[in-house]
Amino acid sequence: GAGVSQSPRYKVAKRGQDVALRCDPISGHVSLFWYQQALGQGPEFLTYFQNEAQLDKSGLPSDRFFAERPEGSVSTLKIQRTQQEDSAVYLCASSPSTHGTLNTEAFFGQGTRLTVV
């Protein structure tokens, strides 16, 4: 596709439910990032992949959060036993650079808005 695609665009989950959020990066992009954007806040880094390798997961808020990118393209962010504080927009971004965002632009998807009720 022409840009970063995320699905679903909106997700309502009952507290305790597991959810899976999908990101289709721009074809050929090596780097992939996940960010969490709470209401009224700026995005916060969650995790970074270079191809299939998860090089940085320091931003994942708890062990209920898990991300994977098994074939170096599509990525899935999974949240287990969702809590109300998980309600946020989850943004995915990709970049052609192996150095992440240092020298090249990161292209963002429209995000998935997760509401936990």
Partner 1 sequence: AQSVTQLGSHVSVSEGALVLLRCNYSSSVPPYLFWYVQYPNQGLQLLLKYTTGATLVKGINGFEAEFKKSETSFHLTKPSAHMSDAAEYFCAVVPLSGGYNKLIFGAGTRLAVHP
Residues that bind partner 1 (CB under 8 A): 3-4, 31, 33, 35, 40-45, 48, 55-56, 59, 91, 93, 99-103, 105-111
Least distance in angstroms from the C-beta of 16 to partner 1: 29
Q: Which is nearer to partner 1, 33 or 65 (CB)?
A: 33
Q: Which is nearer to partner 1, 40 or 70 (CB)?
A: 40
Between CA 9 and CA 27 the distance in angstroms is 20
Q: Which is nearer to partner 1, 45 or 66 (CB)?
A: 45
Least distance in angstroms from the C-beta of 45 to partner 1: 4
User: Beta strand pairing status for 19-24 and 44-50?
Assistant: unpaired
Least distance in angstroms from the C-beta of 17 to partner 1: 25
Q: Which is nearer to partner 1, 79 or 92 (CB)?
A: 92
Query: In degrees rounded to 5, what are phi and psi of residue 84?
Result: -60, -35
User: What are the structure tokens assigned to 46, written together?
Assistant: 């969650």
Backbone Cα Rg of the chain: 13
Q: Positive or negative CA dihedral for 89, 101, 4, 24?
A: negative
